[in-house]
Structure 1
């Protein structure tokens, strides 16, 4: 088994509890770790025998940019479930970060992580 990682995919979205977040939006970052059998692809050297990274990126982008969610937890679970549904992966780890969250104080981001298995 191997791991395919897409790190720091960055999108602009309108997710959050406050009206301000929903109106003005924020920058979000997503990491996906896809646990897959890479032996067939390693032998054949063909894209059809592995996970197409572009399709993963596009799916994540669609979820982040075409929907509105109140919670990071909801985004993370939706992403994990749809990745398991659409790709031949055994396990997925998803991290969703909200950059510069609306919290008093000095804070770079809030992050939610979820791991799901088939």
Structure 2
């Protein structure tokens, strides 16, 4: 694994939230000033394709990236756009029963208002 890829993976593994490619680039640049934006994009794409990390696509927002791990879905705040993980273990099983076929994957984003934005309202 290249030093650049190790750094990008380290950034995602230690992130406390989902990061855009621009945010990963900014954080990588702090540790490795010579890293290029294209290098970050290429590595994010390669690691996504390899299943090492996940790309989270939400309409109207930049794609975000997160470390790999257990399957989960996402909550997206309609006010601030913050993404949070939600685990619905019964959903995949229910989908398999309903669809009656092998499900290779799905993406679910539930829109809501996060507790911080609710407090500010």
TM-score normalised by the chain length of structure 1: 0.30
Q: Which has the larger radius of gyration?
A: 2
TM-score (normalised: structure 2):
0.29
Pick the structure with more strand per residue. 1
Comparing both chains, which one has the higher relative contact order based on Cα–Cα distances under 8 Å and sequence gaps of 6 or more? 1
Whose helix fraction is larger, Structure 1's or Structure 2's? 2
